[in-house]
Structure 1
Amino acid sequence: MPVITFSRNVFLPLTNVCANTCGYCSFKSPVAEGCVMPKEEVVSTLERGAAFSCTEALFTFGERPEREAGFTAYINRMGYPDILSYCKDMSRYAISLGILPHTNAGILTYEELEDLRPVNASMGLMLETTAEIPAHAHSPGKDPSVRIEMMENAGKLKIPFTTGLLLGIGETRDDRIESLEVIRDLHKKFGHIQEVIVQNFCPKEGTDMASFQGASTEVIADTLRLSKEILPADVSIQIPPNLADASLLLDLGVTDLGGVSPVTIDYINPEHPWPALDALKDIARGYEVRERLCIYEKYCTPAWVAPELFGLVSELAKKVY
């Protein structure tokens, strides 16, 4: 029986403040009281995650929030110089509970990636598209060359990495092919791309693209076929089961259903709740549903895992793999 995997995670958006203003995003919020997730809430959420046997702590936040006027004062008030220091501290707490951190923080420099690596089993950045599109006109961090450079740096640092495409944001089929080819070439060079998410944009009220239709099932299906054709066989292809009807798409090369949380919502797409873990078996009828870590099995080696994390990765890998 073919296998479909998923990661049992806990989702922690440390802040919604972001230097980018994407035409389709409702995640971004202004600098104001409560714009940083309180430490007590992070701690209690992680502890609930541990109680539900979560193995992944997904840390995410708006890109470069310190560039937004007034944000630094809020993070300083919490005792941290910047959001990355806060993320590192909370990552250490997750590790103490036996949960592996996976950070998706937007654009990071080589030095910042290197600094986060000892407390992250894996990291991620959605490429989204290699195309220059109107939706990214006010988002300097969505410059394709900047995102590709970060993915290259992650490869140089041997960080197991997740990336993906966002469909229906103004790109063409040729753009999707080019994006997949860029990811393919990065993986051939560095071997670090463990999974590629094929994610459909979901229109949000109050955004510039609220009236856009997003990607049809046909476009998602075509992109999955392209992904299977273009990407190397050792790169997992993922679709989020709360955003698309996965049961109609699994036979097109999908091997993973991504992170699914029994504890927290999808804060990026709160209007689309996760399926219950038990429901994954119905979605993936005809497949064996198998849990995985945020770091794939082949990367659970000293070459790919920082010494500080290797003990926990090895312990969890024995249970899961």
Structure 2
Amino acid sequence: MSTTSEGWLDKPYDLLHQPLTEGLALASSIRDAAHGTRVTYSPKVFIPLTMLCRDKCGYCTFAQPPARLDHPYLEPEEVLQIALHGATQGCHEALFTLGERPELRYPVAQDWLSEHGYDSTVHYLVEMCRLVRDETGLLPHANAGALFKEELAALRQVSPSQGMMLETLNEDLLCHRGCPDKEPHRRLATLKSAGELNIPFTTGLLIGIGESPQDRVDALLAIRQSHLDFGHIQEVIVQNFLPKLGTAMHKELPCPPDEYLQAIALARIILPPDIHLQAPPNLSDDFGGLLEAGIDDWGGVSPVTADHVNPERPWPDLDLLRDVTEDRGFVLAPRLTIHPEYALDRDRWLDTDNHFPVLDRSDAEGLGRDDPGSQMPEKTMENRDAGSGADVLVADENSTQWYSGGANHSPMTLIPSRSFARGAVKEVLDGVLMGQEVGTEEIITLFSA
């Protein structure tokens, strides 16, 4: 079995006629060659900054009219309360989700922004990202939709990564009638601007909303080209449509499982292999099967908040997520909002104000530390006289961060897990248990694990 997509990229639409089993096998082999057995997820807290939106997508229950909301926007105190709760539970990510430009549709939104001193929803989002990052240490991920270049640039200063679902390039879908922000040229322009600004960016497709299989290939090829131009697409989400009560599409059939698996496999084969591929685990009953289609990431999973976009589909428990992942032969690892390749190249991909927040939560590989504290160190430390005329910084009782020799508790573990090893590492350890002498090559293998 080939581990590359070479040959298919000259005729990508032929992939639509490939037997599903062959497509899954090729996608899995590409994933294994590029990412090994590691499957990541982002421990996150979900912050719905506003549920007002000027678009009227036929499948969405997140967007609500003003009459159904107590307030147009979350107040800063509410934002901080949600973020602090996530920080105390070991989250790394603060996912900001919001409707697109509601002030252009609802006077109540514009009035609220003006009364609070903000020019726009994006302006308020920038300040809330800054508040959460500076007060809790959580890393914001701004998912604000189709933005203009100056808006993306403002968010880059406070949000290490950003995202926007491309969804589809089909301009004639009924579900997007009356949705000016879902026009494909607007969303492609956002992808391009994000690349020009060196923003680690997440995008994706929504499968089963009326688009054709050819439309999916078109969208994947556009994402591929954007990444080849700028290198900024850190992850692509392939999400399946599920009908929801109260929407225009509530009587439509859900995306068929085989069609969904084919779309994921298409993404893995068509996209450059360094792009991470995600499928949400809470939207599939047998989510372990998604690993067979070539994904290497589960996306954000929250131990604190619901999926406000899909509230009827709860997140899987982390123990279950680990068990399902390991039963398929993979290892589960927490990550940051920004994937390791980008976190480790911070001079290119991060605003200088985000260098420390990302480093503070990164391990040596650029993944998420498994001992995050509830607050940043400088927020929970005080000066004390060491008795020699010098002051020392001491973490106070409000800090849940673990420090060698200075903590009265064990470090937090994000993934309670049994220990195990595979491959070359297992061979070395098995040899040690059998009494074999460890040589230089074996030591290098262990330290490289």
The answer to whether TM tops 0.5 is yes
Counterpart for residue 197 of structure 1: 237
Identity %: 44
Query: Shift in Å at residue 74 of structure 1?
Result: 1.9
Could you report, residue by residue, the CA deviation over 1:184-240 in whole angstroms, capped at 9, with x for unpaired residues? 010000000011001011111121100111211101110111111101010011000
Separation of aligned partners in 2, 1:292 and 1:48: 19
Q: Quick one: which amino acid aligns to residue 16 of structure 1?
A: M
Could you say what secondary structure the match of 1:7 adopts?
Answer: strand
Separation of aligned partners in 1, 2:119 and 2:212: 41
2:52 to 12, 17, 37: 17
| 2:137 is the alignment partner of 1:98 | yes
Counterpart for residue 60 of structure 1: 97
Separation of aligned partners in 1, 2:324 and 2:116: 42
Query: Shift in Å at residue 282 of structure 1?
Result: 2.1
| 2:119 is the alignment partner of 1:81 | yes
Counterpart for residue 308 of structure 1: 353
Q: Quick one: which amino acid aligns to residue 164 of structure 2?
A: L
Separation of aligned partners in 2, 1:84 and 1:141: 14
1:29 to 47, 61, 64: 64
Separation of aligned partners in 2, 1:235 and 1:3: 14
Query: Shift in Å at residue 85 of structure 1?
Result: 2.3
TM-score scaled by length of structure 2: 0.70
Identify the range of structure 1 (129-138 vs 83-92) with the bigger mean alpha-carbon deviation: 83-92
Q: Quick one: which amino acid aligns to residue 262 of structure 1?
A: P
Contact 1:31 1:68 in 2 (8 A): no
Contact 1:61 1:105 in 2 (8 A): yes
| 2:251 is the alignment partner of 1:211 | yes
1:278 to 314, 319, 340: 319
Larger radius of gyration: 2
Separation of aligned partners in 2, 1:226 and 1:283: 23
Matches within 5 A, 1:1-321: 2-32=37-67, 33-70=70-107, 71-96=109-134, 97-132=136-171, 133-244=173-284, 245-284=286-325, 285=327, 286-300=329-343, 301-318=346-363, 321=367
Could you say what secondary structure the match of 2:282 adopts?
Answer: coil
Contact 1:27 1:267 in 2 (8 A): yes
Separation of aligned partners in 2, 1:68 and 1:79: 19
Separation of aligned partners in 2, 1:253 and 1:246: 13
Separation of aligned partners in 2, 1:317 and 1:92: 19
Query: Shift in Å at residue 152 of structure 1?
Result: 0.4
Separation of aligned partners in 2, 1:287 and 1:235: 18
Structure 1 runs (4+) deviating above 4 angstroms are none
Q: Quick one: which amino acid aligns to residue 352 of structure 2?
A: P
Could you report, residue by residue, the CA deviation over 1:50-78 in whole angstroms, capped at 9, with x for unpaired residues? 10121111111100111123111122333
Query: Shift in Å at residue 79 of structure 1?
Result: 3.9
Separation of aligned partners in 2, 1:223 and 1:66: 35
Q: Quick one: which amino acid aligns to residue 311 of structure 2?
A: P
Could you report, residue by residue, the CA deviation over 1:131-157 in whole angstroms, capped at 9, with x for unpaired residues? 121111110111111100100000000
Could you say what secondary structure the match of 2:186 adopts?
Answer: helix
Could you say what secondary structure the match of 2:141 adopts?
Answer: strand
Contact 1:4 1:289 in 2 (8 A): yes
Query: Shift in Å at residue 267 of structure 1?
Result: 0.3
Q: Quick one: which amino acid aligns to residue 102 of structure 1?
A: H
Q: Quick one: which amino acid aligns to residue 298 of structure 1?
A: E
Query: Shift in Å at residue 40 of structure 1?
Result: 2.0
Query: Shift in Å at residue 315 of structure 1?
Result: 2.3
Provide structure 2 residue ranges, at least 5 long, that are not aligned to the other structure: 1-35, 368-449
Q: Quick one: which amino acid aligns to residue 141 of structure 2?
A: H
Separation of aligned partners in 2, 1:94 and 1:144: 32
Provide structure 1 residue ranges, at least 5 long, that are not aligned to the other structure: none
Query: Shift in Å at residue 80 of structure 1?
Result: 2.8
Separation of aligned partners in 2, 1:147 and 1:79: 28
Separation of aligned partners in 1, 2:161 and 2:248: 33
Separation of aligned partners in 1, 2:38 and 2:253: 32
Q: Quick one: which amino acid aligns to residue 266 of structure 1?
A: D
Separation of aligned partners in 2, 1:37 and 1:201: 28
Query: Shift in Å at residue 248 of structure 1?
Result: 1.2
Could you say what secondary structure the match of 2:140 adopts?
Answer: strand
Query: Shift in Å at residue 318 of structure 1?
Result: 2.6
Separation of aligned partners in 2, 1:220 and 1:78: 44
Contact 1:17 1:68 in 2 (8 A): no
Separation of aligned partners in 2, 1:91 and 1:38: 13
Q: Quick one: which amino acid aligns to residue 309 of structure 2?
A: I
Q: Structure with the greater relative contact order (CA < 8 A, sep ≥ 6): 1 or 2?
A: 1
Q: Quick one: which amino acid aligns to residue 272 of structure 1?
A: R
